[in-house]
């Protein structure tokens, strides 16, 4: 029996960072995001060697281990080992089966599309199918969060796991005690189409270490820095404004809120922007962009631009000459899924 799964990557539209501790516990966080047709994939089957085989296909790395000797140390297979240990120890009663796990993603780590968390969701979804664990979306997302943030102690928030599990346009609420509410939005078809035509996704070619940015942001909140805290409050409210703009189909307002959110985001930590990002932002505005932001924690990875669809070709040409890559992207309404072969 072979199990395959996939989970969609996401674009953080507004409120990103308010899902990160300690802000979300102290003040509650609001995030607006949407999943796109870029995915993390996992394949799970019985190991032909009787060992635990971990294939990180993007890195071209293979690890073969005795199931009883698996640990959570860093490396290309860390996420796979973390998921395996969590499921085996907490959901399989300590049983450690000999499996072959193969995984890859449409986006590199540090892309700003939630690639690491989405990979964990894809892996948990595959285990859910393989062992008939009957986990729902909330449970898969929470388990993925626990693996990444608690078991592996990797810095970050909660939105990525829930976006990957649920899919589509979602307004999310984050509170103390791991309480999360996902509000799926029913976006009219013409709004969906217009926003897709208006959005340009650009990979800078530079991946960034989101953990360092998130650590600085969290430290600023813990230390009570007024400017950072006020910026986070603005980001939270802009997620509400973004939701209203989407539901009403007010895409001019959508662009205003995105730009305002990006300006607030830059105030939450010094490493969120840099000269390269500033230059790309100026180039985009000179070629028809109405708003811009970096997806994810900041510092590099993917950037999003909103423009009048009639200006899209001009903007794409300008960005294509700046050394990065423009990605053709569409939204997807579906969250993580799995299927059985044989």
Q: Hey, which residues are catalytic here?
A: 160
Q: Alpha-carbon distance 329 to 4, whole Å? A: 23
Going from the C-alpha of 42 to that of each of 104, 105, 167, the distances in angstroms are 7, 9, 17
- What is the residue-wise DSSP string for 85-107? HHHHHHHSTT----EEEEEEESS
Strands (E) in the chain, as ranges, are: 2-14, 29-46, 52-56, 61-65, 99-105, 169-175, 179-184, 199-203, 289-294, 302-307, 325-327, 337-341
Spatial contact of 123 and 103, defined as CB atoms under 8 Å apart: yes
Spatial contact of 232 and 268, defined as CB atoms under 8 Å apart: yes
Rg (CA), the chain: 20
């Amino acid at each position: 029996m072979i199990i395959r799964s996939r989970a969609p990557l996401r674009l953080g539209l507004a409120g990103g960072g308010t899902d990160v501790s300690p802000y979300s516990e102290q003040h509650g966080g609001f995030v607006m995001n949407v999943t796109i047709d870029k995915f993390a994939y996992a394949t799970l089957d019985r190991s032909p060697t009787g060992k635990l085989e971990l294939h990180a296909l993007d890195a071209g790395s293979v690890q073969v281990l005795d199931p009883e000797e698996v640990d959570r140390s860093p490396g290309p297979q860390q996420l796979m080992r973390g998921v395996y240990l969590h499921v085996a120890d907490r959901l399989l009663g300590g049983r450690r089966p000999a499996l072959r796990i193969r995984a890859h993603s449409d986006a590199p780590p540090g892309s700003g599309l939630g690639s690491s968390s989405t990979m964990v969701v894809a892996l948990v979804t595959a285990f859910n199918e393989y062992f008939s664990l009957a986990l729902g979306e909330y449970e898969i997302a929470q388990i993925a969060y626990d693996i990444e943030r608690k078991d592996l102690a990797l810095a970050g928030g909660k939105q990525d796991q829930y976006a990957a599990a649920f899919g589509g346009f979602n307004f999310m609420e984050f509170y103390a005690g791991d309480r999360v509410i996902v509000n799926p939005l029913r976006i009219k078809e013409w709004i969906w189409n217009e926003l897709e035509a208006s959005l340009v996704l650009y990979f800078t070619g530079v991946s960034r270490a989101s953990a360092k940015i998130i650590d600085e942001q969290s430290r600023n909140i813990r230390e009570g820095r007024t400017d950072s805290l006020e910026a986070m409050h603005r980001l939270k409210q802009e997620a509400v404004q973004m939701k209203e703009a989407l539901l009403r189909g007010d895409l001019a307002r959508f662009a205003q809120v995105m730009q305002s959110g990006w300006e607030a985001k830059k105030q939450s930590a010094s490493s969120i922007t840099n000269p390269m990002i500033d230059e790309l932002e100026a180039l985009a505005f000179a070629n028809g962009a109405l708003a811009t932001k970096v997806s994810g924690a900041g510092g590099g990875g993917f950037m999003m631009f909103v423009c009048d669809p009639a200006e899209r070709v001009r903007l794409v040409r300008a960005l294509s000459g700046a050394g990065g890559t423009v990605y053709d992207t569409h939204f997807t309404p579906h969250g993580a899924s799995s299927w059985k072969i044989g």
